[in-house]
Structure 1
């Protein structure tokens, strides 16, 4: 039994050509949202099982790559064309040579994958529902059913989704929703991107079925809404090598904290540190636990005074929740 189960319907075989010493340097890895989340979870000391489809030659290669990294694989093997890409980075930027999203899941394949995910997710007690490689891979309603059934069985559910898949998962109910401000804009939840507007959208997402909502905002502080109210989470600003995968590292960090029994507001500190470290690296979902632990010391969490009726947010320097007032009342040597 793993600490975390990740639903990753269609992982991607990635082939990247770089240059080293004037010669082509070819790298072959497993990739995709669920893989990057799993990779960071492993760095943070959590064991992971990935529930996925392994399609054709690509799928056979992916199983070996995933298992070599230490990721448990509950895979549905099937014939056909799997998700893969070939990118050339010798010029300093990614140039697409070839890519495919793979083939959609047939009804019977989806039933088998659904059953695998329920079995593993209920055993773990914590599941991350990640997106597929392409929009046509499986029906969005799958996320509603999975979220509802996993929680009915007592598992906690974390999602990092957008569009129809996000709407479906919220209908099923989730414990933690992680979403970016860009995804909120594309989804029509916000228009001007102000903190007040984002907070209004977060209240709406909470009302739709998310117990806690985390919004990432590129280099700006994260925002979180949970049972304690709103808070602003400021992560250290690092030199950027590649921003891709930072959001998935954030999600993985939150999951790793929850495995240790932390509330989302506490777990988001590890998530913020993991996301900050990931942007310094070209390997997505990578980093080391010691550096992340050190970066946690630079993450600050500040409660936000929220006037819901006026839709106005006002950051405050002190703690204004009951827990915060109790903390302020403690003697200094007891904090």
Structure 2
């Protein structure tokens, strides 16, 4: 079972000619209202890729909250640990330009009410995979990581948005997932100085993480595991919107590892899935199903 602990937002997405600069108003025709939040997105990505998934988080007692819970259920995700609270459901306001780049503002709302008891300490088994991010209170996230680690579950920590990780938590992380900037933030917080991103990934493993996976945007991804560094080159895609690509990568990586794939094979599958997610607008709307990932891997001989 993949257990995702994290954020649930409603995304309000507008496509514009360009991303506005401070003080500028950019007019566009319409917008999309789609379920989002890093926790929510990663749960859906893992479920669509074929995983058995449970979600823990908080939503408001409002229409957005009802839509988010219903969406999780329609994706086959267990919502027993999703708690309605009196704060409004979190929202993300997203503008996407013609090149597929985006700017995002998040109002956290109910996400700040998330607590570690949503997944009780006695629920964890050695067959579980925990996935967390950094959009809910960090102290609750770290409690959850400790609980899962102590009971033998696999722990996957996606440090997004970038934040420092306490050293004792790093030692409880089986797979650290970061982009280049996030990797540097974590390394600096631990007092590590390295010459390049590969050395940073290796240093984070030496500092305690079981493995360090670094997403490299258009350059693919890499993973440091033990004394080895694996690199995956990106598939050729037509970019429409990069929103949710990182969450797709993390969710599909978790599903692959939970299903027993090697790190190399899980990395290849996650990287291709993230690329496929860039070919359509929206975060969850563009996340591929297992059949689409498998077909693309066979077609492109990944």
TM-score (norm 2): 0.79
- 1:231/1:93 Cα in 2 relative to 1: closer, same or farther (>3 Å)? closer
- 1:27/1:85 Cα in 2 relative to 1: closer, same or farther (>3 Å)? same
Would you say 1:280 and 2:283 are equivalent positions? Answer: no
Residue of structure 1 aligned with 2:149, choices 111, 133, 151: 151
Counterpart secondary structure, 2:232:
strand
Distance 1:41 1:282 in 2: 19
Would you say 1:40 and 2:45 are equivalent positions? Answer: yes
- 1:169/1:267 Cα in 2 relative to 1: closer, same or farther (>3 Å)? farther
Distance 1:171 1:95 in 2: 30
Would you say 1:11 and 2:24 are equivalent positions? Answer: no
Aligned 1:2-81 pairs, distance under 5 A: 3-8=1-6, 10-16=7-13, 27-57=32-62, 58-73=64-79, 74-81=81-88
Structure with the greater alpha carbon radius of gyration: 1
Counterpart secondary structure, 2:196:
helix
Unaligned runs of 5+ in 1: 301-335
> Over residues 57-112 of structure 1, what are the superposed CA-to-partner deviations in whole Å (9 max), with x where a residue is unaligned?
14333222322333221212221222124557799989999962215646xx6253
Aligned 1:105-254 pairs, distance under 5 A: 105=112, 110=115, 112-113=117-118, 116=119, 118-122=121-125, 125-132=128-135, 137-138=136-137, 140-162=138-160, 163-164=162-163, 166-167=165-166, 170-186=169-185, 189=188, 197-227=196-226, 229-254=228-253
* Deviates most, 33-42 or 95-104: 95-104
- 1:187 offset after TM fit, Å? 5.1
- 1:213/1:89 Cα in 2 relative to 1: closer, same or farther (>3 Å)? closer
- 1:128 offset after TM fit, Å? 0.6
Distance 2:266 2:140 in 1: 27
The structure that is strand-richer by fraction is 1
> Over residues 235-292 of structure 1, what are the superposed CA-to-partner deviations in whole Å (9 max), with x where a residue is unaligned?
2121111112112111122111112212222211111111111111213241232332
- 1:218/1:87 Cα in 2 relative to 1: closer, same or farther (>3 Å)? closer
Aligned residues: 281
Distance 1:65 1:179 in 2: 27
Counterpart secondary structure, 2:264:
helix
Counterpart secondary structure, 1:250:
helix
Q: Is the 8 A contact 1:236 1:276 kept in 2?
A: yes
- 1:172 offset after TM fit, Å? 4.9
* Deviates most, 254-263 or 85-94: 85-94
- 1:94/1:181 Cα in 2 relative to 1: closer, same or farther (>3 Å)? closer
Distance 1:98 1:189 in 2: 26
* Deviates most, 291-300 or 218-227: 291-300
Q: Is the 8 A contact 1:221 1:234 kept in 2?
A: yes
Distance 1:210 1:260 in 2: 21
Cα RMSD (Å) of the superposition? Answer: 3.4
Q: Is the 8 A contact 1:14 1:30 kept in 2?
A: yes
Unaligned runs of 5+ in 2: 17-27
Residue 19 of structure 2 corresponds to none
> Over residues 7-60 of structure 1, what are the superposed CA-to-partner deviations in whole Å (9 max), with x where a residue is unaligned?
01x3102234679xxx96654322011122122212211121110112231433
Q: Is the 8 A contact 1:141 1:165 kept in 2?
A: no
Q: Is the 8 A contact 1:144 1:168 kept in 2?
A: no
Higher RCO structure, 1 or 2 (CA under 8 Å, sep 6+): 2
